């Protein structure tokens, strides 16, 4: 298994659903259709993973580059994270990681291309970095595909002293051998 030869930077992935035609349709409605209420639906299904978390837990959404944020008008990971934060009373920080370099959409890329594309795209912000040390971090995203984005963000959070980084997402793309 490749994950044993090259372990991820994060400490696990918790996905509400497996990526499918139906789960993708919801993610697309949120991301590209501006159906912002879908974020609350996704968060409700993700809440089961955060119900019994330690007090030293924070939520950090995966950031968008400012040009993508300006064109879309919102960050879907922030919307999902905000719903989780409010429902579970867990602090959320949107300015711990930033995307310093714009990247093209990753959806048509292989895992190797994705890793290369996001390498160096993220940076730790010093403003709220002190909230990371010795804490459990829920890194929130909408879809976990290859893990390239999550690994890049988790590596930064771990370098800032995070005790644990758990990726929390709406849908996870499963390798063909894992699908039923």
42 Cα distance to chain centroid: 13
CA 158, CA 180: separation in Å to the nearest integer? 34
Write the pLDDT tens digit of every residue in 94-104: 999 999 999 88
Domains parsed from the chain with CATH numbers: 2-173 (3.40.50)
pTM exceeds 0.95 for this model: no
Q: Which residues pair with 98 in a beta bridge?
A: 123
CA 55, CA 138: separation in Å to the nearest integer? 12
Helices H / strands E in the chain, number of each: 7, 6
In this prediction, residue 180 has a pLDDT band, given cuts at 50, 70 and 90, of: very low
In this prediction, residue 3 has a pLDDT band, given cuts at 50, 70 and 90, of: low
Write the pLDDT tens digit of every residue in 17-75: 999 999 999 999 999 998 999 999 999 999 999 988 878 899 999 999 999 999 999 99
């Amino acid at each position: 298994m490749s994950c044993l030869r090259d372990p991820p930077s994060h400490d696990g992935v918790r996905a509400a659903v497996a990526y499918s035609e139906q789960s993708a349709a919801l993610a697309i409605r949120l991301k590209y259709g501006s159906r912002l209420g879908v974020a609350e639906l996704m968060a409700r299904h993700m809440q089961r993973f955060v119900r019994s978390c330690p007090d030293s837990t924070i939520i950090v959404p995966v950031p968008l580059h400012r040009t993508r944020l300006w064109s879309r008008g919102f960050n879907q990971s922030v919307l999902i994270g905000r719903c989780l934060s409010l429902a579970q009373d867990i602090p959320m920080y949107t300015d711990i990681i930033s995307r310093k370099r714009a990247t093209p959409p990753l959806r048509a890329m292989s895992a190797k291309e994705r890793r290369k594309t996001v390498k160096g795209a993220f940076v730790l912000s010093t403003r709220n970095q002190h909230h990371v040390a010795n804490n459990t971090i829920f890194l929130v995203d909408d879809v976990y595909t290859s893990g390239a984005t999550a690994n890049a963000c988790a590596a930064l959070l771990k370098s800032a002293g995070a005790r644990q980084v758990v990726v929390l997402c709406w849908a996870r793309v499963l390798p063909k051998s894992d699908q039923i």
